[in-house]
A = this chain, B = another copy of it.
Amino acid sequence: MKLKFPMVAIVLEVAMIILFGYFVEYETEQINLQQPNTTNSTKVDRFLELHSLFQDVHVMIFVGFGFLMTFLKNYGFSSVGINLLIAALGLQWGTFMWGIVHNHGQKIHIGIKNMINGDLSTATVLISFGAVLGKISPTQMLAMTILEIAAFVGNEYLVGEIFEASDIGASMTIHAFGAYFGLAVAGILYQPSLRKGHEMEKSAYHSDLFAMIGTLFLWMFWPSFNSVIAETGEKQYMAIVNTYFSLVACVLTAYAFSSLVEKRGRLDMVHIQNATLAGGVAVGTCADMKIHPYGSMIIGSIAGIVSVLGFKFLTPFFTTKLRIHDTCGVHNLHGLPGVVGGLASIVAIALGASKTSTMAMQAAALGSSIGTAVVGGLITGT
Contacts and interface: CB of A to CB of B under 8 A. Distances in A.
A128 interface: no
B298 A259 contact: no
A192 to B, nearest CB: 28
**Count class of interface residues, chain A:** 35 or more
A13 B252 contact: yes
A85 interface: yes
Given A44-B233, A80-B212, A294-B21, A59 B276 contact: no
Interface in A69-128: 70, 76-77, 80-81, 84-85, 88-89, 91-92, 110, 115
A122 to B, nearest CB: 10
B48 A237 contact: yes
A257 B5 CA distance: 10
Interface string A46-63: 011001100110110011
Contact of A256 (B13, B77, B245, B292): B13
Contacts of A66: 212, 216
A293 B17 CA distance: 9
Contact of A17 (B85, B249, B276): B249
A20 B297 contact: yes
Interface in A242-295: 244-245, 247-249, 251-253, 255-257, 259-260, 264-265, 267, 269, 272, 276, 290, 292-294
Interface in A205-223: 205-206, 208-210, 212-213, 216-217, 219-221
Interface in A168-212: 205-206, 208-210, 212
Interface string A310-326: 00000000000000000
B213 A81 contact: no
A294 B55 contact: no
A206 B76 CA distance: 9
Interface string A219-230: 111001000000
Nearest to A237: B44
A240 B51 contact: yes
Given A5-B265, A51-B52, 7 more contacts: A13-B297, A16-B249, A25-B293, A52-B55, A66-B216, A77-B209, A81-B272
19 contacts: A2-B264, A6-B256, A6-B259, A16-B297, A17-B294, A21-B294, A24-B293, A26-B241, A26-B293, A48-B237, A63-B213, A77-B205, A77-B212, A77-B269, A80-B212, A84-B216, A85-B251, A92-B297, A110-B293
